Amino acid sequence: MSLDSPPYIVIAKTAQLWLAGNLKQGRDPNKAGDLYNEAAEVAMNCMKGKMANKYYMLAEEAYGEAEDE
């Protein structure tokens, strides 16, 4: 990942960090789900429909993990 990476990839990587709990704030699946949804919306605006669908699915998985906690 570099500064030239598309914004949806940067947002999705941030969501991944929240989901994994690799931040000092801890793990937050709801925050990760919100970020994955945001990444999906940005991907749609960039005409990347397949990526958007992937991020929507990851958001649903993250929200599902939040319900289990």
Torsion angle, alpha carbons of 37, 41, 42, 47, to 10: 130
Task: Please report the pLDDT score of residue 32 as a whole number.
Answer: 97
Q: Above 90 in pLDDT, residue 9?
A: yes
pLDDT in tens, 24-63: 899 999 999 999 999 999 999 999 999 999 999 999 999 9
Q: 22 pLDDT band (50/70/90 cuts)?
A: confident
The Cα–Cα gap between 27 and 25 comes to: 7
